[in-house]
Amino acid sequence: MRLTFLGALGLGRTRAILAFLALVGFAFVGVDARAAVFNPTTFTLANGMRVVVVENHRAPVVMHQVWYKVGAADQPEGKSGLAHFLEHLMFKGTKSHGPGEFSRIVARNGGNENAFTSQDYTGYFQKVARDRLEIVMALEADRMTNLVLTDKIVLPERDVVFEERRSRIDNQPAALLSEQVTAVQYLVHPYRIPVIGWPDELAALTTEDALAYYRSHYAPNNAILIVVGDITAAELKPLAEKYYGVIPARDITPRVRPTEPAPRAAKRVTLRDGRVRQASWSRSYLAPSRHAGATEQSYPLEVLAEILGDGTTSRLYRALVVDQRVAVSAGAWYDGVAYDLARFGLYATPTRGGDVATLEKAMDAEIARLLTDGVTDEEVERIKSRMLAKAVYARDSLYIAARIFGEALTAGLTVEDVEAWPDRIRAVTAAQVNAAARAVLVPEASVTGVLLPDKTS
């Protein structure tokens, strides 16, 4: 599979990924207070391509990633799934390399590679030995400008994407519910559209659609090169200029998206499915991100999500699972790295045979208590220390380091924002967390999702 997108995952797996990225996303730092996070080196090629280099000399290996500042939320109207479809097609060959040859060359040289699509970006990566970096740079630069597509290649791959949708969405009740909840959450913004696409629109995508999208968005001045590993910026720069710097800049279709109106009514989505064996409950709230809306609330919301949902010592787990025994799991998540408005979520699974209504009543009571009494200074300080301490263990990951910068830069943030994460989290106060909770956790901004067995099936 060429796919690593959050929009098409089931609720459980989506939350796990979001929780992981929220924890380590901007937190690769030890407990030492004002240390820098990655100390990257950055430069920009003459054609406008941004380059980020993070040195990590623990092993003679590098992670090479190219991120395009375009995702599913930038597709033409009626062409849902096109961004992810093109991601698949980018492996189908160029004027110099036939279909599948890209992957075969990477494998022959001991590397691994893949790609991913989200609402805000599309990315491609390879992990290789340091002395094979130039090979993958040449391959990636080639397909940035020389992609060859024909109906003979495109139409069978469209069937592959259809099968992917069937296996990841249509055959997964939790994923179907997540898709419907997201579609209801956003009234006009394209975040409401699933990354993998609606079936009827996916079926209508053509070779020309893919080529037009490719020509409109895939260019060096709309891309970010991120290399993490056993290399310095001085060593990388001549290679970047040799392979990417010679590609001419092009006029890029600007990223213009509609403004999401203020929500005015709570919404509810209930899905009954005969394949469901265990009911589940979730609620998401429209929330600011680090780039859109009341951005000053984003860091307090990160802390709030940890207080509510950080494992077995969190507020929700203790209240619903340990004390009241109305749930077998409960938690919270916040995905604040988005170009536009984000979401803050709560979830819980009732005990087997338990009543979802009882669980929801208990959850509502906990939220009401939070909004009335607030969090304490002690809770906030403890969680902040835990966030910083846990994150130190993720520093060795070349992939995650690159992904952090890619997600940030394609969401309109800066390298400086990444490096400032520890100090910004440390500065969060209980008063700020309480203010953010009261601003975001309001009924009119919420969508409640309930997944139930269909006893008639």
Task: Please report the DSSP string for 369-438 in residue order.
Answer: HHHHH---HHHHHHHHHHHHHHHGGGTT-HHHHHHHHHHHHHTT--HHHHHTHHHHHHT--HHHHHHHHH
pLDDT of 280 reads: 97
3-state secondary structure of 144: helix
Is residue 210 within 8 Å of residue 89, measured between CB atoms? yes
pLDDT of 26 reads: 40
Q: Is the pLDDT of residue 184 over 90?
A: yes
Residues of the chain with CATH 3.30.830.10: 38-243, 267-453
Q: What does the pLDDT average to over 173-186?
A: 98
* Residue 201 a catalytic site member: no
Q: Measured between alpha carbons, how far is 26 from 419 in angstroms, rounded to an integer?
A: 8
Reference 421, options 335, 298, 243; nearest CA is: 298
Tell me the pTM. 0.92
Using a pLDDT cut of 90, give the percent of the chain over it: 86
Query: Which amino acid, residue 177?
Result: L
Is residue 127 within 8 Å of residue 61, measured between CB atoms? yes
Q: CA 225, 230, 232 angle in degrees (round to 5)?
A: 65
Looking at the domain that runs over 38-243, which CATH code has it been given?
3.30.830.10
pLDDT of 393 reads: 65
Q: Is the pLDDT of residue 29 over 50?
A: no
Please, what is the average pLDDT of the chain? 92
Q: Measured between alpha carbons, how far is 300 from 279 in angstroms, rounded to an integer?
A: 31
pLDDT of 33 reads: 40
Is residue 326 within 8 Å of residue 452, measured between CB atoms? no
Alpha-carbon distances, residue 52 vs 64, 140, 190, 223, 407 (angstroms): 10, 16, 29, 11, 13
Looking at the domain that runs over 267-453, which CATH code has it been given?
3.30.830.10
Query: Which amino acid, residue 115?
Result: A
Instruction: Give the pair of three-digit tokens for residue 100.
Output: 């599948």
Q: What does the pLDDT average to over 320-324?
A: 98
Q: Is the pLDDT of residue 290 over 50?
A: yes
**Residue appearing with tokens 């005015």:** 264
Contacts of 166 (CB under 8 A, 6+ apart): none
- List, edge to edge, every strand of the sheet that includes 267-273: 267-273, 446-453, 280-287, 342-350, 327-335
Reference 281, options 320, 337, 323, 334; nearest CA is: 320
- 416, with CB counted inside 10 A (0-12, 13-18, 19+), is exposed
Q: Is the pLDDT of residue 428 over 70?
A: yes
pLDDT of 390 reads: 74
The alpha carbon torsion through 287, 289, 295, 300 (nearest 10 deg) reads 70
**Which phi-psi region, left, alpha or beta, contains residue 138 (left: φ > 0; alpha: ψ -120 to 50)?**
alpha
Query: Which amino acid, residue 122?
Result: T
Residue range 8-19, pLDDT digits in tens: 333 333 333 333
pLDDT of 396 reads: 74
Q: Measured between alpha carbons, how far is 371 from 2 in angstroms, rounded to an integer?
A: 42
Q: Measured between alpha carbons, how far is 142 from 243 in angstroms, rounded to an integer?
A: 8
Residue range 81-99, pLDDT digits in tens: 999 999 999 999 999 999 9
Residue of 55, 77, 87, 378 marked active site: 87
3-state secondary structure of 270: strand
Residue range 43-69, pLDDT digits in tens: 999 999 999 999 999 999 999 999 999
Contacts of 340 (CB under 8 A, 6+ apart): 73, 189, 191, 257, 260, 289, 291, 292
**Residue appearing with tokens 């720069």:** 237
